[in-house]
Amino acid sequence: MRAVAFLPESEAMEAGVSELKVTIAYVHHGTGVGGAPLSLANIISSLDKKRFRAVVFCLQSAACDLFRNAGAQVIIVPHIPTFRHTTAGSTSPVSPKFWLARVRNCLAQDTWRRHFAAVNPAIIHFNSITLTPLLSTAKQSTTNVVVSIRETAVPGTFGFRRRYTKYMLNKYARAIHFISEFDKQLHGLKTPICKVIRNWVDFKLFVRTADGTNVRTSLGIGAGQTVVLTLGGVTRIKGTEVFLKAASLLKHRKDITFLVVGLDLDKIANTSPLKRAVKKLLGYGHGAVLHKIFSNSELTQNTICCKHRSDIPDIIAASDMVVFSAIRPHQARPSFEAGAMAKPIIASHFDCLKESITDHVNGIFFPPHDSQALAKAISELADSKSLTTSMGSKNWKHAVAMHNKDINCSQVIELYEQCLRTADEREKTDNAQEATAS
């Protein structure tokens, strides 16, 4: 796999690209295989390939194969300008890193003009609000600039960073795709097209009748155990620390097994002291914190930690409930993935989650950071199989109604069509005005 600055026209023609197709250029910012790349891959796979051509600009990562398998041409770039100011992370203006990033972003604009010009897109779709530094450059290539806002914004200290983001979106984006009504209201944008299209799950992959016996057997979990799952991994915002502390409080419950996916304790333990210190300095040292909690709390008897896995539907099928113990507000993909498998969700109580979770209906809320309250909620479900089954069934009904991949992806594609219709109407109007003037 080779990195390229842009795709030459000759190479594009060799790849069999039809000039008659509508080209959509996607820009994806991350390197992990989480909700954002999965959602983007779903959108690409849902495109009518006879009408649309998908090109994805992204960094080298495992997500590249997701996009290729979905039917996109992938162009790997060495750097993507970002402006991070969400609950998932932001950089303070007093930090030198903030200003170095701004300078680097400015210097990258001309390169990105060439990137976009090389593929001649009718639509440019940014897969994150963090990509706002590229909006003005994208607008020079096409008026149809689409942004997916998957993150929850933060006010900041004086609001300058948030106002910058809002200004860029209002000025340069034609369409905004929000994943929740909460986020739409929070941003208060005046973009011509603003639609709430909730995140989705593929019910062909997440099947409620799936049997998790094989996963339980491979992990050494007994048939009679109640399995409590979290998919948070080592990312601080996901609140795995809260989950582990709750597991420690329930060590006396020999009938409960806690399962953490995305926390590779062996890899963390084998990290050299120097590398660990560098990670901590750069803000990526939370894995060591989790390793220390796991070791000090003597969780080896009731908690299983494993690295990232691709068989998430099977993992959820092997569990009895799913926990989303986030410490800062953001949307909970595990909520509707659990719902698709008819499992209840236990989640931190944030306003942004009230659209997908109703307390003691399809899940249970607990105060963020509160391990004792989480332990209590886990015990409540573990002590009542009927309550667990009832909440799981209601969570499945909610997921079917609100988070269906086929329905929601079609809404994104209709958003593209709306942009294209608007552009055609505007061109006809401009042509008519020119004809009148002449």
What are the pLDDT digits (tens) for 60-106?
998 999 999 999 999 999 999 998 777 667 777 778 888 888 888 88
If asked whether residues 240 and 267 sit together in one domain, one would say: yes
The answer to whether position 1 is within a domain reads no
CA-CA-CA-CA torsion for 369, 373, 378, 384, nearest 10 degrees?
-160
| Residue-level pLDDT at 152 | 80
Q: Which token pair is 344?
A: 């209840």
Angle at the Cα of 164 from the Cα atoms of 408 and 124, rounded to 5 degrees = 40
CB-based contact 423:143 (threshold 8 Å): yes
If asked whether residues 369 and 423 sit together in one domain, one would say: no
If asked whether residues 281 and 419 sit together in one domain, one would say: no
CB-based contact 397:361 (threshold 8 Å): no
DSSP assignment string, 399-431: HHHH-BHHHHHHHHHHHHHHHHHHHHHHHHHHH
Decide if pLDDT at 309 tops 90.
no
Rg value, the chain, Cα = 23
- Candidates 85, 241, 101; CA nearest to 159 is 85
Q: Considering its fold, how many domains does the chain have in total? A: 2
If asked whether residues 154 and 301 sit together in one domain, one would say: no
The answer to whether position 208 is within a domain reads no
If asked whether residues 191 and 74 sit together in one domain, one would say: yes
Q: How many CA atoms lie within 13 A of 420 on its CB side?
A: 16
pLDDT digits (tens, 9 = 90+) for 209-218: 999 999 999 9
CA distances from 100 to 74, 196, 250, 279 (A): 28, 34, 46, 19
Question: Which CATH number do you get for residue 220?
Answer: 3.40.50.2000
User: Does residue 33 or residue 435 have the better pLDDT?
Assistant: 33
DSSP assignment string, 307-324: ---S-HHHHHHT-SEEEE
| Residue-level pLDDT at 1 | 34
If asked whether residues 386 and 409 sit together in one domain, one would say: no
Average pLDDT rounded to a whole number, residues 136-145: 95
The answer to whether position 333 is within a domain reads yes
The answer to whether position 4 is within a domain reads no
Decide if pLDDT at 13 tops 90.
no
If asked whether residues 251 and 391 sit together in one domain, one would say: yes
Q: What is the span of the domain harbouring residue 358?
A: 213-402
Average pLDDT rounded to a whole number, residues 331-359: 94
Q: Are strands 89-90 and 85-86 parallel, antiparallel or unpaired?
A: antiparallel
If asked whether residues 133 and 271 sit together in one domain, one would say: no
Average pLDDT rounded to a whole number, residues 201-221: 94
Decide if pLDDT at 297 tops 90.
no
Decide if pLDDT at 6 tops 50.
no
Helix (H) / strand (E) containing 101? helix 96-119
DSSP assignment string, 343-384: --EEEE--GGGTTT--BTTTEEEE-TT-HHHHHHHHHHHHT-
CA distance 251 to 235: 24
CA distance 194 to 211: 40
How many Cβ atoms sit within 10 Å of the Cβ of residue 107?
11
How many residues are present in the chain? 438
User: Does residue 176 or residue 331 have the better pLDDT?
Assistant: 176
Least confident of 154-158, 165-169, 187-191: 154-158
The answer to whether position 207 is within a domain reads no
